[in-house]
Amino acid sequence: MLEQGHRGDEALDDRKIWKALADPSRRRMLDLLRVQAMTTGGLVQHFEMSRYGVMKHLEVLADAGLVLVRRQGRERWNHLNAVPIQRIYRRWIEPFAAEPADGLLKLKALAEKPSENEKTEETSGEPTMGQMSDRVMQALDIQQEIEIDAPAAKVWSSLTADIAAWWPKDFYVGQAPRRFVVEPRVGGRVYEDWGDDQGVLWATVLVFQEGELLQWAGDLSADFGGPARSITSFKLVSEGDKTRVMFRDCPYGALSENAAKNLESGWSWLLQDCLRPFVESGKHPDRPDSVVAAEKS
């Protein structure tokens, strides 16, 4: 017997996801959209089927939440939403594969461990040509959506005033940061506070629309995958006692070839496994067994 109503909704969503992933043509569409967003017409060119057939497959993917559709003028743009796949992976695959995979990864790391000469060459001086060659000039458009079982006002507070209470340690740059801060105004800073006027500036707030839209823009240094610039936004849509968070990240510049994949999985984890549990039950990602209070300064 289900303990909570939304668990039944999740079970239904899982069935839709499995159904959507069962078809090889739909899996191929997701592979294409993982590289970049595409119009429906652009997708048709990759398949030996009619436009109507492609649209029917896209309807199944959209119904499962795997594809987000955005219209720009007369064009229909399709974006990958990695959040449902991440949820399926963590629920059904990761728990069963963790121990065997851990052993294989350790064996792989041991086999590929560089020699002392290789270590010296890799860690000395400026990045080598090989290290830099995997970066290409490109623009990405990462879009994701999640539904949170809480009113929009609570979600908004968690994204702004209470963000330090759930921001995970793996998303900090500093070794011993005090808190993560979003200054609630246009032109406000988004930054890590290390104390004693030290820290890292992540971005500057471009749009601050109370309870509805938070958008910031910041630079990505070469040390962390750039040089590049990114515009990130969180749009909240109230649905009664629930809130739909429409997330978008648009980095552009010298990005690694794996940037899209890394950003999709990283933001998906932040939204699905960090923000949502905190809003719904006060769980902190670094302290999952305890309920934490907002860590305001």
Q: Are residues 38 and 166 in the same domain?
A: no
Q: Residue 45's domain spans which residues?
A: 5-83
Q: Are residues 78 and 162 in the same domain?
A: no
Confidence of residue 132 (pLDDT cuts 50, 70, 90): very low
pLDDT, one tens digit per residue, over 146-163 is 999 999 999 999 999 999
Domain end: 68, 83, 98, which one? 83
Residue 233 has pLDDT above 90, yes or no: yes
Q: Residue 189: beta bridge partners?
A: 204
Letter string b/e over residues 36-67, b meaning 16 or more CB atoms within 10 A of that residue's CB = ebbeeeebbeeeeeeeeebeebbebbbebbbb
Q: Are residues 71 and 191 in the same domain?
A: no
User: What is residue 104's predicted lDDT score, i.e. its pLDDT?
Assistant: 53
Whether residue 123 lies inside any domain: the answer is: no
Q: Are residues 29 and 162 in the same domain?
A: no
User: What is residue 11's predicted lDDT score, i.e. its pLDDT?
Assistant: 59
Q: Are residues 139 and 284 in the same domain?
A: yes
Residue 122 has pLDDT above 60, yes or no: no
Mean pLDDT check: name the lowest of 108-112, 170-174, 227-231: 108-112
User: What is residue 88's predicted lDDT score, i.e. its pLDDT?
Assistant: 72
Q: Are residues 156 and 264 in the same domain?
A: yes
Query: Which of the pair, 130 or 195, is modelled with greater confidence?
Result: 195
Whether residue 233 lies inside any domain: the answer is: yes
Q: Are residues 58 and 203 in the same domain?
A: no
Find, among 282, 242, 254, the residue nearest to 151 by Cα.
242
pLDDT, one tens digit per residue, over 40-92 is 999 999 998 999 999 999 999 999 889 988 888 888 899 988 888 777 766 66
**Cα–Cα–Cα angle for 276, 238, 241, nearest 5°?**
70
Q: Are residues 145 and 230 in the same domain?
A: yes
Whether residue 51 lies inside any domain: the answer is: yes
- Please identify which residue in the block is written with the tokens 């695959």: 93
Mean pLDDT, the chain, rounded, equals 81
Please provide the size of the chain in residues.
Answer: 297
Whether residue 168 lies inside any domain: the answer is: yes
Task: Specify the pTM.
Answer: 0.62
Whether residue 260 lies inside any domain: the answer is: yes
Paired sense of beta strands 287-291 and 198-209, if any: unpaired
- The number of folded domains in the chain is 2
Whether residue 167 lies inside any domain: the answer is: yes
Whether residue 129 lies inside any domain: the answer is: no
